[in-house]
Homo-oligomer: A and B are copies of this chain.
Amino acid sequence: MDRSAEFRKWKAQCLSKADLSRKGSVDEDVVELVQLLNGREQFFTTSSCAGRIILLDQGINGSEVQKQNCCWLLVTHKPCVKDDVIVALKKANGDAILKFEPLVLHVQCRQLQDAQILAVRSTHGLEVPLTHKGKLMVTEEYINFLIKIANQKMEENKKRIERFYNCLQHALEKETISMTSFPKEKIREKNNSSYTHKKKRNPEKACGKYITEENNKELENDDHDDPGISVTIFPEDY
């Protein structure tokens, strides 16, 4: 079996499996995006979350590193209401934290060039400790203030999903056109400039189908939003 057939088989297997997330289905705000990717032969998604506001209660001995004792007091993919948070916080007996988490999308790509169309956007989150050993550490006024911020982030996240969907759709259409106009090898060669999977080093040199919303921030670590390790591969022998 050749590699393409192997990828198709793997994709079919993965997509036919039951959704093992707690919710058991793809989040509404990300359904179209997931369908757009899964509809293309070179991609499939293995996990996604449209973005959410969560209230976690960590056991008294539970550190951030050991999450086994973590209990969910509230989860919502929609703007949240103060009273729901207040009620949920009453159940906290450890260290409760309110978090906003933006879009997460895990995409399998058939080959390296396909990964070039994907971009990682700024990951503005929110992570606010609210209780300590069950005791509320902030005022209700502060909770109100915080929920407004979390809801604004939710709104902004939704706009970004739409923008990403539109950019991706546009890029895939352009790719289809160029795939029919040029032999495959030509396109591969064309895309063989230096690129990264997290950030484009030189956005102005980017090939047509590369989408990025990040600025060129290297050598300037004053304003980093996506903690972690970013890897750029120098194209040598593929």
Contact = CB atoms under 8 A, between A and B. Distances in A.
Given A229-B119, A231-B107, A224 B49 contact: yes
B232 A109 contact: yes
Nearest to A112: B233
Interface residues of A, number: 81
Given A65-B156, A226-B228, A227-B101, A221 B121 contact: no
A223 interface: yes
A100 to B, nearest CB: 9
B129 A47 contact: no
Contacts of A119: 229
Interface stretch (A79-87, A138-146, A169-177): A138-146
- Of A3, A7, A234, chain B has the most CB atoms within 10 Å of the CB of A234
Contact of A110 (B65, B220, B236): B236
Nearest to A164: B229
- How many copies of this chain does one complex carry? 2
A31 interface: no
Given A224-B49, A227-B125, A108 B232 contact: yes
Contacts of A139: 137-139
B238 A105 contact: no
A221 B3 contact: no
A125 B127 contact: yes
29 contacts: A3-B236, A7-B234, A17-B219, A21-B221, A22-B222, A63-B152, A65-B122, A67-B223, A104-B221, A104-B226, A106-B199, A110-B236, A111-B237, A112-B238, A118-B229, A118-B231, A120-B228, A120-B229, A121-B229, A125-B127, A126-B127, A128-B128, A128-B129, A132-B145, A137-B142, A138-B138, A138-B142, A139-B139, A198-B228
Interface of A: 3-4, 6-7, 10, 17, 19-22, 46-49, 63-65, 67, 70, 101-112, 114-115, 118-129, 132, 137-139, 141-142, 145-146, 149, 152-153, 156, 197-199, 217-224, 226-238
